[in-house]
Amino acid sequence: MSIVVMKFGGSSVANPERIRRVARRVGEAQDEGHQVVVIVSAMGDTTDDLIMLSRELSARPSRREMDMLLSTGEQQSIALLAIALHEYGYKAISLTGLQAGYNTDGTYAVSRICNIDSSRVRKELDEGNIVVVAGFQGLSPNGDITTLGRGGSDTSAVAMAIELQADMCEIYTDVDGVYTADPRLVKSALKLNTISYDEMLEMAAMGAGVLHPRSVELAKQYGMTLHVRTSFDHRLGTIVQEVTDMNGELEKEMVVAGVAHDMSVLRATLFNVPDQPGLASTVFGRLAQDKVNVDMIIQGSKTSDDKQNLSFISARTDADKIEQALGEMVAGGLGEKFELDDSIAKVSVVGAGMISRPGVAAKTFEVISSLGINIDMISTSEIKISCIVPEADAAKAVRALHEAFLG
Ligand code: ASP
Ligand code: MG
């Protein structure tokens, strides 16, 4: 019997009505003859609400206690979904991440999954149960609950699908697939039928928001096919897999798959740091230790013979950690001062087709400059060109780039 893993995000289980709809959907999959494992997120804004609640008590709550607190969100939704399934006459059982066998590396708030002991899940499936598993959480080596980072239940789902050798991992969400740009920003954005892992990774990392980037990384590594689709009806969504289907036309690849934007970034700058060996290693070593993800580093705008500025892009959610780290560096004589600027955004043109087609970068810059927008930083990979622009201009840039490449 084939196993399907279905993941439902917070908006899909936001209230009893929606939980019932998910239950019917999941039940149908079992009726069709599949063994079904369902991974769920916390209902609606529960995770945000819990964070706000903790902030009323402390500005810097302990990370361990935050994981304890946040993991309760998913625990509510698994029980409620199992209850709804029972009402429809299905055999179902809810399991926490711990009961489902997720073992993590133990880092609070941003744990990685080390392995899954799926024996309990398999046993419950064999007994005819629909198994409803809490996403976003696992067990640390010392026996604590740890969470996987915001949006982490996508990664829980993909990991379980790989462990169970499921045919596919279906990610149900409140949009009907992956678009060539954010449809809220670009009216003419189109839904993609397929997208490669690499393109999806760039889109996800650029804030396309549909999938947790780590879930795509994991799927790519193990060749797990993902299907991103809406939980509101039965339309097909977007398939994320290695080779995209060109409808038989081998060379008719799309040069550009999409235009992504990320409004949740900040630029950090360390001013007048000594230009000497080991500097970058010290700064980024420290940030890595604090688990700060750094993107687009610019080093070398020399301010004098032996001094230079160092800038990098990170997530705004890491502002506290960055402030702490850079503050300590400046106090220790590394650099004169530092600054965080969150009035910027990242706009990216993504497409596997650009490897073999020159000119995408030139066209990107031309489009942005024709709007009179100043590009502050640029980074490129084989399949992506990213520009840092003022946040206030980002939407305009996205629309113009979409029109130029995909209009
Ligand atoms: N509930 C968690 C969050 O809001 C995990 C998830 O939804 O994937 O980030
Ligand atoms: Mg999500």
The string of pLDDT tens digits covering residues 128-147 is 999 999 999 999 999 999 99
Report if residue 195 sits inside a domain. Answer: no
The 10 Å Cβ neighbour count of residue 329 is 18
User: Can you tell me the mean pLDDT for 85-91?
Assistant: 98
**Lowest mean per-residue pLDDT among 99-103, 114-118, 148-152, 349-353:** 349-353
The 10 Å Cβ neighbour count of residue 109 is 16
Under DSSP, the state recorded for 80 is: H
Two tokens, residue 279: 């500097």
Average pLDDT over all residues of the chain: 92
Mutate to test the pocket of ligand 1, among 47, 66, 145, 148 (most ligand atoms within 8 A of CB): 47
3-state secondary structure of 102: strand
135 lines ligand 1 (CB under 6 A): yes
Distances (CA, A) of 58 to 54, 62, 65: 6, 9, 11
Looking at ligand 1, which atom is closest to the CA of residue 212? Answer: 8
Report if residue 370 sits inside a domain. Answer: no
User: Can you tell me the mean pLDDT for 53-65?
Assistant: 97
Q: Is residue 357 scored above 90 in pLDDT?
A: no
Nearest to 21 by CA among 5, 8, 2: 8
Instruction: Name the domain count of the chain.
Output: 1
**Residue minimizing CA distance to atom 9 of ligand 1:** 150
Q: Which domain holds residue 82?
A: 3-174
User: Can you tell me the mean pLDDT for 11-39?
Assistant: 97
Two tokens, residue 401: 């780039």
Q: What is the CATH number of the domain that holds 39?
A: 3.40.1160.10
Looking at ligand 1, which atom is closest to the CA of residue 152? Answer: 8
> What gap in Å lies between CA 343 and CA 219, rounded to an integer?
33
What is the value of pTM for the model shown? 0.85
Q: What is the pLDDT of residue 258?
A: 93
Under DSSP, the state recorded for 179 is: B
Ligand approaching nearest to the C-alpha of 208: 2
> What gap in Å lies between CA 73 and CA 78, rounded to an integer?
9
Report if residue 389 sits inside a domain. Answer: no
Residues of the chain with pLDDT > 70, as a percent, come to 95
> What gap in Å lies between CA 313 and CA 377, rounded to an integer?
9
Report if residue 181 sits inside a domain. Answer: no
Q: Is residue 355 scored above 60 in pLDDT?
A: yes
Looking at ligand 1, which atom is closest to the CA of residue 149? Answer: 9
Q: Is residue 82 scored above 70 in pLDDT?
A: yes
Q: What is the pLDDT of residue 244?
A: 52
Are the beta carbons of 379 and 329 closer than 8 angstroms? no
How close is the Cα of 248 to the center of ligand 1, in Å? 38
Report if residue 46 sits inside a domain. Answer: yes
How close is the Cα of 171 to the center of ligand 2, in Å? 9
Q: What is the pLDDT of residue 204?
A: 73
- Annotate 380-405 with DSSP letters as a single string: EETTEEEEEEEHHHHHHHHHHHHHHH
Q: Is residue 45 scored above 80 in pLDDT?
A: yes
Report if residue 122 sits inside a domain. Answer: yes
Please name the residues in contact with 328: beta carbons below 8 A apart, sequence gap of 6 or more.
286
Q: What is the pLDDT of residue 303?
A: 67
Are the beta carbons of 368 and 385 closer than 8 angstroms? no
Nearest to 309 by CA among 279, 287, 282: 279
Q: For residue range 160-195, list pLDDT tens digits in order.
A: 999 999 999 999 998 889 999 988 899 999 999 999
Report the relative pairing of strands 337-341 and 265-274 from DSSP bridges. Answer: antiparallel
How close is the Cα of 323 to the center of ligand 1, in Å? 25
Are the beta carbons of 63 and 29 closer than 8 angstroms? no
Residue type, 192: L
Are the beta carbons of 401 and 349 closer than 8 angstroms? yes
Report if residue 16 sits inside a domain. Answer: yes
Report if residue 386 sits inside a domain. Answer: no
User: Can you tell me the mean pLDDT for 344-369?
Assistant: 91
Q: Is residue 235 scored above 90 in pLDDT?
A: yes
The DSSP bridge partners found for residue 339 are 269
151 lines ligand 1 (CB under 6 A): yes
